[in-house]
Amino acid sequence: MVESNAARLDSIFHALADPTRRALLRDVSAGEKSVGDLARPHALTLAAVSKHLKVLEAAELVARQRRGSFQIVRLNAPVLHEADEWLAYYRPFWSTRLDALAQHLEQEPEGESR
């Protein structure tokens, strides 16, 4: 559906594969925050948090915007929707609706790669 889906999923899942980054994402889901605000609750240097934010930004999970001398970070949730759509393919496999599974398997497996 989307063009280079695989590379996008790479960066999204990679960004989510770190507990600090998931925590940052959760923190920022409560509303816009400056980098300093985001760093404060974590036992990390600002530079480290800045790097994590760069990973989240590369995956477009957050967006930055300068406001005065602050960098304001906000959640970009629709990107998580892409991960959700990838997962959706497997939903029939953990739900108990085996008939749905059978029907599911007749379809082509959604072309992410190649």
Partner DNA sequence: GTTCGATTCAACCATGTGGTTGAATGTACC
Partner DNA sequence: GGTACATTCAACCACATGGTTGAATCGAAC
Sign (positive or negative) of CA dihedral 33, 34, 35, 41: negative
Among 2, 13, 98, 103, interactor with a copy of itself by CB under 8 A? 13
Q: Decide if residue 9 touches a copy of itself (CB under 8 A).
A: yes
| Spatial CB neighbours of 36, under 8 Å, sequence gap ≥ 6 | 46, 70
Q: Decide if residue 75 touches a copy of itself (CB under 8 A).
A: yes
Tell me how far apart the alpha carbons of residues 108 and 9 are, in angstroms, rounded to a whole number: 19
Among 46, 48, 58, 87, interactor with a copy of itself by CB under 8 A? 87
CB of 94 to DNA, least distance (A): 24
Residues of this chain that interact with DNA (CB under 7 A) are: 14, 17-18, 20, 34-37, 39, 43-48, 50-55, 64, 66, 68-71
Tell me how far apart the alpha carbons of residues 38 and 74 are, in angstroms, rounded to a whole number: 11
